Amino acid sequence: MPSYTPPLRDMQFLMHEVFKVTDEFKAIPKYAEADVDTINAVLEEGGKFASEVLLPLNISGDQEGCKLDPVTHAVTTPKGFKAAYDKYVEGGWPALSCDPDFGGQGLPLVVNQCFYEMLNSTNQAWTMYPGLTHGAHAALHTHGTDEQKQTYLHKMTSGEWTGTMCLTEPHCGTDLGLMRTKAEALPDGTYKITGNKIFISAGEHDMSGNIIHLVLARLTDAPPGIKGVSLFIVPKFLVNKDGSLGARNGIYCGGLEHKMGIHGNSTAQIVLDGAIGTMVGQPNKGMQGMFVMMNAARLGVGNQSLGLTEVAYQNALAYAKDRIQMRSLSGPKATDKPADPIIVHPDVRKMLLTAKAYAEGGRALAIYCSVLLDKEHSHPDEKVRKDSGEMLSLLTPIVKAFLTDNGHISTNACLQVFGGHGFIKEWGMEQFVRDNRINMIYEGTNTIQSLDLLGRKVLGNNGATLKKFGKLVAALVEEEGVNEKMAEFVNPIAYLGDQMTKLTTELGFKGFQNADEVGAAAVDYLRVAGHLVFGYFWARMAQVALREIAAGNDEPFYQAKLQTARFYFAKLFPETATLMRTARTGSSVLMETDLALA
């Protein structure tokens, strides 16, 4: 069975030394009392829950999967999953960063972010059950009526009830304007909803007393397309006026998807057969509420791959230190053994360092974004809220696509370190590869994230927000421009920042003449942008490490951080040159290929 050690030291380094989150929170009244010791203590306990309660259930849950009773439509989760959820609720974990007005503990979102990384490392399939509830909670908190909030949020905060998002239908995925699920107004102000949804993660299960589905559907007089979509609360059990559970609603699981990975999560085909729902927000404005969920989910999906990258790296590293095979090309290293540990071989080190660099860079980006989210929602200064929201909007598709693509690269590399043993189930490595694969697909495929980044977030405002990120890069370059020890970290990002500006301008002109030019370049463009963002954060991490070393701090952690930074800039960052070249090749080699694709 795989092992796992919570990466608390690296989380603490990023929160307290690089980003100084408690200083940021002093400007936010509701977080002003958050201190280093409290954050560290909570995450230490969270790490214990993840490693001691969830990790032992990961392989068994994958092997057992979920079971559907075709008569009652009830779904049973793998052995131990419900007991683990009960412990999760007893420990108060669902309420960690929720609003105290609804029973939450009110801790900064960055705490929940780091906690969920550890949950994802140890059991992604299990973590999706409570994880989806956060998005539904956020949508209701933002767009729900006072009555809806009072009815649902307290029990979602406590974990007594869970939530889902019901978007996809058999004939349409991301193109939600094509959906057919219908909502008919009833005299009492509720709606009768009929239709079919597929790919609904945690759509039916035995973990909680009620499941609060947020469902997209069309009113009978709705205009066509995406402008005719409304959002509804459709609970598994109707809720009485006093908050108790009423009759079983007409929403049930018609089947479970048979999947490549995340077997422990019940990905459900949901049937709505005259289910009773209440509208969230305004008629035909459902996407406003759903985007709250979707954006939260996109950040969450990036966090899933971050967790899998970390746990895959840890296990591959341990294996590489133990497994002996051949001799080092530069001469024997373990002279007391018949062969050397495979960690002496350059390419094994490259695979390990790739996963390590992507995990630590991804963690920096994820933590930075969670602080932006806190500032967007809660900072007293309107300009700070606006600027934070704009930056988060730019970075969200990068979190979703770049981290999940990197997770695919990293989990495959770590499986490769194991050789043939990586392909065998008992080691757990092939499960990490399978579980991660869905992360590149759902909540908007990574191609859609790329189109969102280039077409909407960059070209849509003439690069204004990208320029704001460029100013962060420029400020760091100016600050460290005369520091020779920082040259290897700041020079590459300074150069890439300049090249990104030129590339963006070129693609903007091409796209104005032919929109397919944007589609042809978007995936490469996002990956270049991802490296610019990672490069900036790696430079900041190197900056802190160099300062600590200069001050006499001999903790090996800082030297290790520098070594990983050097690897990243030498072996991974240069991918940008090829990507920019392919981004410039245009759309004709893709679109003028009817004979090739006949």
| Residues known to be catalytic | 443
Q: Which helix (H) or strand (E) holds 185?
A: strand 182-185
Neighbours of 70 (CB within 10 A): 9
Q: Which helix (H) or strand (E) holds 277?
A: strand 268-280
Residues comprising the chain, all counted: 598
- Cα 327 from Cα 323, distance rounded (Å): 12
Residue owning tokens 């893709």: 590
List the beta bridge partners of residue 272.
Answer: 195, 251
132: tokens are 């989806």
- Helix extents (H) in 463-515: 464-480, 487-513
Neighbours of 227 (CB within 10 A): 12
- Cα 212 from Cα 256, distance rounded (Å): 19
- Cα 191 from Cα 425, distance rounded (Å): 47
Q: Which helix (H) or strand (E) holds 193?
A: strand 191-200
Terminal Cα distance for the chain, rounded: 47
Amino acid letter for position 411 = T
- Cα 275 from Cα 296, distance rounded (Å): 26
Query: DSSP assignment, residue 160?
Result: S
